[in-house]
Amino acid sequence: MIGTMSSVVAAITFATLATASMSIGFSGWLREHLSWLTRLLYVVAAVLIAWPAAATDTSIAVLGARVIGIVLFAGLLFKASIQTKPNTMKAEV
């Protein structure tokens, strides 16, 4: 890998987050079937996180896009984690 340790770690982190978000958006499944709007939001978050610039680019546009993408992705994951699905399994008596 070429670059400083911080730029390599930043690139790996952004790529991992973007890949996870894109995978959820394209598969349409995270604990349950996702609506089209939620899927679109995951894909938008992935595009914002993987904004085409160097991982260490500190311009306001790039940092803003990545922060918005990460916050959106984290918010969607949090929403998915607190939603509870009703128990469809019947307890045997």
Element (H or E) spanning 61, and its range?
helix 60-82
- Rounded to the nearest angstrom, the gap between the alpha carbon of residue 89 and the centroid of all alpha carbons in its chain is 31
pLDDT in tens, 8-27: 888 899 999 999 999 999 99
Residues 6+ apart with CB under 8 A from 82: none
Domain assignment present for residue 91? The answer is: no
Domain assignment present for residue 87? The answer is: no
What total of structural domains would you count in the chain? Answer: 1
Domain assignment present for residue 25? The answer is: yes
Domain assignment present for residue 93? The answer is: no
68 compared with 52, residue with greater pLDDT: 68
Where residue 35 falls among pLDDT bands split at 50, 70, 90?
A: very high
Per-residue pLDDT averaged across 56-71, rounded? Answer: 88
Domain holding 25, by residue range, is 5-82
Domain assignment present for residue 92? The answer is: no
* pLDDT in the model for residue 93: 57
